[in-house]
């Protein structure tokens, strides 16, 4: 499970809006890959949008893979105060939900 593999999957799988469950599975959000910026655009259930750039995607990915099994699937692990340097306290937790979906689905192949 590498960042390069994840980004390749994102490029191939979500060039258009795709619906995902949040880490807690209590809500849904949409995401799509922006190939020109190599970023992921998120639209939450309130209709707010934000784009996470490649550097921040990599930081979030590394935090996900280096976390313990219990911690990695908690949204608070990607926001302050648990991560004061978070790229975005509102939208960063959506990226691990996408990573989780990817990780669960690549193992089923």
pLDDT value for 69:
85
Q: Pick from 55, 64, 49, 54: which is nearest to 1 by CA?
A: 64
| Rg over CA atoms, the chain | 13
pLDDT average, residue stretch 1-8: 94
pLDDT value for 4:
95
SS3 82: coil
Distance of CA 64 to the CA centre of its chain: 9
Number of domains the chain is built from? 1
Give the long-range contacts of residues 4-10, CB within 8 A, separation 24 or more.
5/106, 6/61, 6/99, 6/102, 7/38, 7/54, 7/57, 9/102, 9/106, 10/40, 10/98, 10/102
By residue range, what is the domain housing residue 86? 3-106
pLDDT value for 107:
56
Tens of pLDDT, residues 13-71: 999 999 999 999 999 999 999 999 999 999 999 999 999 999 999 999 999 999 998 89
Residue 108, pLDDT above cutoff 70? no
């Amino acid at each position: 499970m590498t960042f390069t593999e994840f980004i390749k999957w994102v490029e191939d799988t979500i060039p258009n809006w795709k619906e995902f469950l949040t880490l807690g599975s209590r809500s849904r959000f949409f995401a799509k890959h922006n190939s020109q910026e190599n970023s992921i655009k998120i639209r939450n259930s309130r209709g707010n949008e934000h784009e996470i750039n490649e550097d921040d995607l990599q930081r979030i990915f590394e935090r996900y893979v280096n976390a313990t099994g219990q911690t990695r699937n908690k949204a608070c692990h990607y926001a302050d105060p648990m991560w004061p340097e978070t790229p975005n306290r509102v939208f960063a937790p959506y990226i691990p939900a996408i990573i989780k979906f990817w990780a669960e689905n690549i193992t089923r192949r």
